[in-house]
A and B are shown apart, each in its own frame.
Chain A
């Protein structure tokens, strides 16, 4: 490209300069507002509760990590982490695989059922968890899956499918038919074509979908809050809520717990930032 259209004409008018300064100031203010609470949280987690009460906005005078092991123990973070990892990994693998296999059938195998089935998935993108929360709770109880990991995993997988099927179908439609036709001529069945041709080509959309799913399942709260009452099957977001009720005045441990809860996603974000943002832009096409 070379040409920098962003640098406006050589001599901007005074009005344009003021306008640009205001825009930059808004951006700077908002950025400081965004990062400050996160930095404040981290610095506060390094203070004892006593120190925090004396010094709520300054830097810690005697930084200490002593809050962390205590918060970890009180919060039962070992089990929360294991559960979060389990829910996130199994749901993600299942959503990616099931979405892509259905997407391939919808996009490349002509059947009359496709129109209805595909449309029902697309409508599902607009439906909200709220509209099915009570029935899901009742149904989970009826089939005896309340307070079990499987009873949490199945709804998680179901909730991820509409977006997965939508993105997958859009993507696989763009793969040329000739690729499939020639494999068919060589006698390959559709299942084999899916595994050895379509899936490898679909890796980019699978990655986007997987990253979207990881962030949403890892942070999911509403559903697991009603489907799990045993501590042993709770995930991180439900576990952290403990530090808002009974333990909320023990600030040191509360802040340490929040940092523990925030850190994995923050690291994940810094690694996969590009993918996360691309996934958001792709998902927003359909709203």
Chain B
């Protein structure tokens, strides 16, 4: 460094600037993360954690085995996978399609469409959940709509264990697709318009431009949206909590809800709850790594 820098002042300033953020971050995120992994390996049941009178001991992976033997774990995990597949294969392609239609100026009033489709994303999850819960309930308008087409339609969406996840998936498409639209649109607009003009002058048709110019330019963004979809679908909680609470018969439960039930409903089972959350983080990181590997393998360029 330059001669005019006084090391004392530099060091003091550095710590003054960094300390508040670092302290809060370590207290709120870093330490609890480690604490959570530790708890999942103990038999802690709510007593004293630190000091001589600490009331717990290590029990190894016992709670992970318990978790894997629990049928409710598998129901919840399966729903997370459904949500993930829906995000990857419906939300992302739909978000791209909408962004592409707007970007290619196939329609007027592009600002309007962009504004409307992104709108749900900023409304509170809870408002959205209660709204749709009423909408899909036997007393809600969905019954009137379906009877326009089929007068004998019976609304079992809320009680049939096999159907109950469908409204949840539908609402997720409604709620989050706008986010992917905006991400794709922002990145489509970064593509150099001269390249597209040149291709067009050279006689490239729409399909060639899409597959040879636009999609390759977006491969990095596709990876980012895939990561968002994967981590987002493992996180899902609020919407389902308020819309179905995981019912009927826990058939719409997800891992985060399964964890919540074990930690905060009835007698708390903290070690199991932390085993679940550790599992969620591990799966999320593993899938993100796989996505990155696939990206390298298939030559996505960033």
In the complex, which of the residues B21, B98, B264 contacts A165, with contact meaning CB atoms closer than 8 Å?
A: B21
- State whether the Cβ of A30 lies closer than 8 Å to any Cβ in chain B: yes
Interface size on B, residues (CB 8 A): 107
Expressed in whole angstroms, the Cα–Cα distance for A8 and B102 within the complex equals 14
Closest chain A residue, CB of each to CB of B255: A130
When distances are taken between beta carbons in the complex, the residues of chain A under 8 Å from B280 are: 128, 130-131
Expressed in whole angstroms, the Cα–Cα distance for A31 and B181 within the complex equals 12
When distances are taken between beta carbons in the complex, the residues of chain B under 8 Å from A1 are: 193
A23→B4 contact, CB < 8 A: no
Kindly provide the distance from the CB of A279 to the nearest chain B CB, expressed in whole angstroms.
10
Kindly provide the distance from the CB of B8 to the nearest chain A CB, expressed in whole angstroms.
11
A128→B235 contact, CB < 8 A: yes
B106→A189 contact, CB < 8 A: no
Kindly provide the distance from the CB of B11 to the nearest chain A CB, expressed in whole angstroms.
8
Known contacts A130-B259, A134-B273, A219-B124; decide if A157 and B205 are in contact (CB<8 Å).
no
- In chain B, positions 32-50 with a C-beta closer than 8 Å to chain A are 32-33, 35-36, 39, 49
Closest chain A residue, CB of each to CB of B95: A30
- State whether the Cβ of B294 lies closer than 8 Å to any Cβ in chain A: no
Expressed in whole angstroms, the Cα–Cα distance for A277 and B215 within the complex equals 22
- State whether the Cβ of A276 lies closer than 8 Å to any Cβ in chain B: yes
Expressed in whole angstroms, the Cα–Cα distance for A253 and B208 within the complex equals 54
Expressed in whole angstroms, the Cα–Cα distance for A191 and B18 within the complex equals 11
Kindly provide the distance from the CB of A75 to the nearest chain B CB, expressed in whole angstroms.
12
- State whether the Cβ of B54 lies closer than 8 Å to any Cβ in chain A: no
- State whether the Cβ of A76 lies closer than 8 Å to any Cβ in chain B: no
B13→A190 contact, CB < 8 A: yes
B2→A5 contact, CB < 8 A: no
Q: Which of B57-65, B70-78, B138-146 contacts A (4 or more CB under 8 A)?
A: B138-146
Known contacts A237-B126, A244-B130; decide if A134 and B277 are in contact (CB<8 Å).
yes
B35→A117 contact, CB < 8 A: no
When distances are taken between beta carbons in the complex, the residues of chain B under 8 Å from A134 are: 36, 39, 259, 263, 270, 273-274, 277
- State whether the Cβ of A179 lies closer than 8 Å to any Cβ in chain B: no
B126→A241 contact, CB < 8 A: yes
A265→B124 contact, CB < 8 A: yes
- State whether the Cβ of A77 lies closer than 8 Å to any Cβ in chain B: no
When distances are taken between beta carbons in the complex, the residues of chain A under 8 Å from B118 are: 273, 276-277
- State whether the Cβ of B238 lies closer than 8 Å to any Cβ in chain A: yes
- State whether the Cβ of B123 lies closer than 8 Å to any Cβ in chain A: yes
In the complex, which of the residues B127, B278, B288 contacts A258, with contact meaning CB atoms closer than 8 Å?
A: B127
Expressed in whole angstroms, the Cα–Cα distance for A130 and B257 within the complex equals 10
Residues 96-128 of chain B, each 1 if its beta carbon lies under 8 Å from chain A, else 0: 011011111111000001111111101111110
Closest chain B residue, CB of each to CB of A251: B134
In the complex, which of the residues A102, A127, A238 contacts B281, with contact meaning CB atoms closer than 8 Å?
A: A127
B98→A127 contact, CB < 8 A: no
- State whether the Cβ of B168 lies closer than 8 Å to any Cβ in chain A: no
A128→B284 contact, CB < 8 A: yes
B124→A35 contact, CB < 8 A: no
For chain A, which range describes its interface: under 10, 10 to 19, 20 to 34, or 35 or more residues? Answer: 35 or more
When distances are taken between beta carbons in the complex, the residues of chain B under 8 Å from A98 are: 20-21, 24
- State whether the Cβ of A34 lies closer than 8 Å to any Cβ in chain B: yes
When distances are taken between beta carbons in the complex, the residues of chain B under 8 Å from A102 are: 17-18, 20-22
Expressed in whole angstroms, the Cα–Cα distance for A162 and B24 within the complex equals 11
B284→A126 contact, CB < 8 A: yes
- State whether the Cβ of A71 lies closer than 8 Å to any Cβ in chain B: no
B117→A34 contact, CB < 8 A: yes
Closest chain B residue, CB of each to CB of A110: B1
- State whether the Cβ of A209 lies closer than 8 Å to any Cβ in chain B: no
Known contacts A184-B5, A240-B127, A243-B130; decide if A34 and B119 are in contact (CB<8 Å).
yes
- State whether the Cβ of B67 lies closer than 8 Å to any Cβ in chain A: no
Residues 249-287 of chain A, each 1 if its beta carbon lies under 8 Å from chain B, else 0: 101001100100110011011100100111011001101
- State whether the Cβ of B94 lies closer than 8 Å to any Cβ in chain A: yes
A16→B21 contact, CB < 8 A: no
When distances are taken between beta carbons in the complex, the residues of chain B under 8 Å from A63 are: none
- State whether the Cβ of A105 lies closer than 8 Å to any Cβ in chain B: yes
Closest chain B residue, CB of each to CB of A277: B182
- State whether the Cβ of B290 lies closer than 8 Å to any Cβ in chain A: no
Interface centre among A134, A181, A281 (most CB of B within 10 A): A134
Closest chain B residue, CB of each to CB of A184: B4
In the complex, which of the residues A126, A132, A157 contacts B285, with contact meaning CB atoms closer than 8 Å?
A: A126
The 18 sampled A-B contact pairs (Cβ below 8 Å) are A41-B131, A101-B20, A128-B281, A130-B237, A132-B28, A132-B33, A134-B274, A161-B21, A184-B2, A194-B17, A219-B125, A221-B125, A222-B241, A248-B130, A254-B134, A277-B118, A287-B224, A287-B288
Q: Lowest 9 CB-CB distances: which A-B pairs, in order?
A: A158-B28, A6-B105, A190-B13, A281-B186, A135-B32, A102-B21, A132-B32, A105-B17, A287-B227
